[in-house]
Amino acid sequence: MEWNIEGGRESRFVWVVTVVASLALISGCGGDEGPAQEQLGNTSGPMAGMGSSGEPPAAEEPPTSTGPGATMGPTSGAPSGGDEPAPGDAPTGDAPTGDAPTGDAPTGDAPTGDAPTGDAPMGDEPVMGDEPVMGDEPVMGDEPVMGDEPVADGSCCDGCMCRGGDPTEESVTAMGPYGSESYSQGLRNGPRFGGATVYYPTDAEPPFAGVIMCPGFTARQSSIRAWGPFFASHGIVLVTIDTNTTGDPVTARDDALLDALESLKAENSRMGSPLFGKLSMDRFGVSGWSMGGGGTWLAAKATPELKSAMTLAGHHSTAGGARVADGITVPTIMFAGATDPSTLGGGNQSQRAYAAIPDSTPKILYEMAREGHFSWGTPRTNGGALGRYAMAFHKVFLEGDERYRQFLLVEGPGASEWISTVK
């Protein structure tokens, strides 16, 4: 009975030893036989977080950091960025004891962000900085604006002046869109003319072209003053002048026109002038009524660099006849009245001057059936047709605005004679 008791103790001893040895084998004692895990929070893969018994141990809540690149637990020896450890590259370190760690182990679910998902890692995805930004897209400043829209091809040459919208018969007949003012003081006092008044636009965009206008025999500049505001309202400077005496002949009036032109040019550089820096120095014309018209033909003949010439019932019979117009190359428009006496501006004086000007020169003769010698002091003559054709001609040849040519291609109303080389 006593032997059996002792034998029973021996059996219990053997059983205890066997259990201890089994536990040691299960817990991975020996270190070189298999991959030893570091702390469970650093392990990735399907078995991450498993205790020594193969069952998930009870653990605390996982860390709260989530999203791309969040790491779980200590980083020593752990792959980052969601990359899988290569086979055979097991982390090294001391084997854990048989007791499973309790504080760092996550729950049985794989740690978020550490296990690859099969999709490209977040670091390989395009970021916002790689996408086109607003600065790479066209901005409003690169788009044409209304004020930059070009005028139609062929309608305005380089250096020409094209103002406002497309003209109409009404717009070219009426006063223009710009305000105007005038002055007589401060001008260069030229020796060959008696005085002058400068009419200029106040709110048009410079530079401005300019025209000098001379009155007829015994007349003063007040007889033609209505032309000043009309031209200025369309963006063109107009200067009316007096001659040194009201009885000056035709051959003195061309000198008066060209001397006054020098005074106008000087306004571009005179400090304090309303036209300081505002004149186009290569766009000038001359004009005149009666003997002033005769002086206009002579001035145009002597000064081919002029851009335009306009005569109103021009007189040349006391100045040697039509030879005053021989060889003129300056574009010229001539207005005449069918009822004008030959002693003044009638008797086909304008027709003969027209014939003396080469056909290669742009020229128009417009004789109005009901007009006489004293019809030319205002652009309102013949229902405004006088002003319409005068302005259209200056817009085309003085300023270079081809949009107005259309008005010159139609015979004027009430014409007793219409001749033109303008196409």
Q: Quick one: pLDDT at residue 62?
A: 39
- CA proximity to 266, closest of 321, 188, 359, 195: 188
By 3-state DSSP, what share of the chain in percent is helix, strand and coil, each rounded to 5? 30, 15, 55
Contacts by residues 64-69 (CB-CB < 8 Å, ≥ 24 positions apart) = 66/112, 66/113, 67/113, 68/113, 68/122, 68/123, 69/113, 69/122, 69/123
Rounded distance between C-alpha atoms, residue 356 and residue 326, angstroms: 5
Residues of the chain with pLDDT under 50: 1-154
pTM listed for this prediction: 0.65
Cβ atoms of residues 422 and 408 within 8 Å: yes
Between strands 208-214 and 279-289, the pairing is: parallel
Q: Quick one: pLDDT at residue 21?
A: 46
Q: Quick one: pLDDT at residue 129?
A: 40
For 145-290, where are the alpha helices, taking DSSP H only? 169-173, 227-233, 250-267
Q: Which two tokens stand for residue 161?
A: 């002046």
Q: Quick one: pLDDT at residue 160?
A: 85
User: In the Cβ-directed half-sphere of 162, how many Cα atoms lie within 13 Å?
Assistant: 23
Compute φ and ψ for 129, nearest 5 degrees: -65, -20
Cβ atoms of residues 237 and 279 within 8 Å: yes
Question: In angstroms, what CA-CA distances link 147 with 58, 138, 163, 205, 338?
Answer: 77, 19, 11, 13, 46
Between strands 195-201 and 237-242, the pairing is: antiparallel
Rounded distance between C-alpha atoms, residue 244 and residue 256, angstroms: 8
Cβ atoms of residues 380 and 387 within 8 Å: yes
Q: Quick one: pLDDT at residue 371?
A: 98
Tell me, rounded to whole angstroms, the distance of Cα 277 from its chain centroid: 24
Burial of 362 (0-12, 13-18, 19+ CB in 10 A): buried
Cβ atoms of residues 408 and 331 within 8 Å: no
- CA proximity to 116, closest of 65, 57, 48, 51: 48
Buried b (16+ CB within 10 A) or exposed e, 39-63: bbbbbbeeebbbbbeeebbebeebe
CB atoms within 10 A of CB 176: 22
| Residues marked as catalytic | 290, 340, 373
Is residue 1 helix, strand or coil? coil
